[in-house]
Amino acid sequence: MLLTPGVRDRRGLLVSGHGAVDRKELIYDYIPRMQISLHQINTTVADFSGNVGKIVSLAGKARESGSSLAIFPELSLTGYPPLDLLTNPNFTRRSADALQSLIAQTAGLGLSLLVGTILPSNTPGEGKPLHNSAVLIKGGRVLGIHRKVLLPTYDVFDESRYFEPGRELSLFELEGWKAGVSICEDAWNDKTFWLTRQYHLDPVEEFLSSNPAPLINIAASPFSRGKGHLRMEMLANIARRFKTPVIYVNQVGGNDSLVFDGRSLVMDESGRVVALGKGFEEDMLLIDLLNLPSPVTSIPDMDGTEAVYKALVSGLGDYAAKCGFPSAVLGLSGGIDSSLTAAVAADAMGPENVLGILMSSPFTSPESVTDAETLAYNLKIKTKTIDISNIYTSYLNELSDGLEGLPGNATEENIQARIRGNILMALSNRFGHLVLSTGNKSELATGYCTLYGDMSGGLAVISDLYKGEV
């Protein structure tokens, strides 16, 4: 371990380089240089061997880079969100086995690891049986445990369904340093930042008011438009308010309907970002707590069109890979909805793994066919053309007794949509393609779509985009 001359106050905080100080309040000694690596990783729910293997591999790389502490996201051993798998005894047993495997495999690295996992309640028979936890391990031993205090139950979250809350943040001793450890929502209840709050308790305030120390927050915080900059402002407020560095490590990648954007970061005590992870990609940040780098000069757009597109690509790519779909199929109409869906699919799965089906009818214009073919050529995806005219006519003939003499309405149009949906599902059954539906949020919200027709599919890629956003 490198030892660097420095100055600490009596609370253990580094103060050298941070302005004038009262020398009577200081202790002069040697401060261990603390290299920390932040690992925003893409985990898979219930893939314990895969998640452990990824953490072990990155821990080795962190040690080679000189890191003393490797930090991983919330529930990085189990994957997030595990939902009702948490009620399965086999899942919880495998999670415990995975933690023991990780402890054993990293015992000889000489490196501390902070990982997220589930642990049994410390009050068996009372309350929920599990805690959402952060575990500090080194040398084959568990050195510290933090149990998540604030459990969200709004929007996509339902953590109090499964977990018992912890009571307070935990103070960990890290290679001669002290740090407060929190998990995601624990940091989202600052009374000086939010006009209204979800909880009566602010565990960060209670902890940092009496234990001045750098704050570590491991998270599985999903992407939504506007949240990136909000999250950064919230963490900066904590750093400035308590005059302490903030270390934030977020999950990346897609799990079912949730997409995580990563963007792990380190802030100095003034709330300035000094290290920032990539968006929607696995990344590793290496920092020295004794010598934080200069503030980042440019913060990328976290919530604009490019970020939304990357979220769609990440979500589709991971959904297909983690569900075992090697390829995708979708209908190409020549319109902007199917065009955007095809572009996302080509970027997410590779153009060679995307099949576009052109299904013309007596009502299909030549321009629509040309547009669809041009799109496929530009994206380099494969296409197949199926004329549904005869199928459509057969439908009408079989239904003629019931429809004869009635004025035309949406019935005939919806028959075409259902024929197309049937064809796409047949190709999926035969070749194992993932069917991508192409409806947008405006259509789905107003019911402007066809049940068993354009709503058919395994994943609605752009269903969270309004038509104007498409």
Locate the domains of the chain by residue range: 1-32, 36-305, 325-460
Is a pLDDT exceeding 70 seen at residue 403?
Answer: no
- Neighbour count for residue 296 (Cβ, 10 Å): 15
CA 428, chain centre distance (Å) = 28
Distance CA 270, CA 244 (A): 8
Burial class (CB in 10 A: 0-12, 13-18, 19+), 386: middle
Look at residue 11 and tell me whether its pLDDT is greater than 50.
Answer: no
Per-residue pLDDT averaged across 113-123, rounded?
94
For residues 265 and 278, give the distance between their C-alpha atoms in angstroms, rounded to a whole number: 9
Contact 213, 12 (CB under 8 A): yes
What is the CATH code for 36-305?
3.60.110.10
Residue 405 has a pLDDT of 65
Residue 416 near residue 311 (C-beta atoms within 8 A) = no
Q: Which of 210-224, 382-396, 398-412, 428-442 has the lowest mean pLDDT?
A: 398-412
Write down the pLDDT at residue 106.
98
The whole-number average pLDDT for the span 66-88 is: 97
Q: Nearest Cα to 117, choosing from 165, 76, 157, 72? A: 76
Measured between alpha carbons, how far is 231 from 217 in angstroms, rounded to an integer?
Answer: 12
Burial label, 4 (beta-carbon count in 10 A; 0-12, 13-18, 19+): middle
**Stretch 374-396: mean pLDDT, rounded?**
95
Please state whether the peptide bond connecting residue 203 to the residue before it is cis, i.e. omega within 30 degrees of 0: no
Residues in the chain: 470
Q: Is the Cβ–Cβ distance between 189 and 198 less than 8 Å? A: yes
Q: What per-residue confidence (pLDDT) applies to 63? A: 96
Query: How many C-beta neighbours within 10 Å does residue 397 have?
Result: 9
Catalytic residue among 74, 164, 185, 269: 74
pLDDT band at 361 (very low <50, low <70, confident <90, very high): confident
Q: What is the mean pLDDT of residues 124-130?
A: 88
Q: What angle do CA 112, 116, 121 make, to 5 degrees?
A: 115
pLDDT number for residue 10: 36
246-250 and 265-267: which strand pairing? Answer: antiparallel
Q: Please identify which residue in the block is written with the tokens 């209908």.
A: 331
Per-residue pLDDT reduced to its tens digit, 153-162: 999 999 999 9
Output the average pLDDT for the chain: 91
Instruction: Give the pLDDT confidence of 432-451 residue by residue, as tens digits.
Output: 999 999 999 999 999 998 89
Mean pLDDT of 161-165: 96
Quick one: fold of 325-460?
Answer: Rossmann fold (3.40.50)
User: Is 310 designated active site?
Assistant: no
Using alpha carbons only, how large is the chain's radius of gyration in Å?
A: 27
Residue 184 annotated in active site: yes
pLDDT of 404 higher than 80: no
Nearest to 216 by CA among 237, 240, 235, 197: 235
Is 138 exposed, middle or buried (CB count within 10 Å of its CB: 0-12, 13-18, 19+)? buried
Cα gap 344→207, rounded to integer Å: 44
Q: What confidence category does residue 408 fall into, taking pLDDT thresholds of 50, 70 and 90?
A: low
Catalytic residue, from 54, 138, 148, 310: name it.
148
Q: What is the mean pLDDT of the segment spanning 403-430? A: 86
pLDDT digits (tens, 9 = 90+) for 287-316: 998 899 999 998 988 889 999 999 999 999
Catalytic residue among 138, 184, 322, 443: 184
Looking up tokens 């049994």, which residue turns up?
120
Q: Which amino acid is at 283?
A: D
Which has more pLDDT, 35 or 406?
A: 35
pLDDT-derived band at 406 (thresholds 50, 70, 90) equals low
Contact criterion met (CB below 8 Å) for 96 and 137: no
Q: What CA dihedral angle connects 426, 427, 431 and 437, to 10 degrees?
A: -100
Three-class SS of residue 304? coil
- Rounded to two decimals, the pTM is 0.90
> What pLDDT shows up at residue 402?
67
Helix orientation angle between 336-349 and 305-323, rounded to the nearest 10 degrees: 60
| More confident position, 45 or 290 | 45
Residue 342, SS3 per DSSP: helix
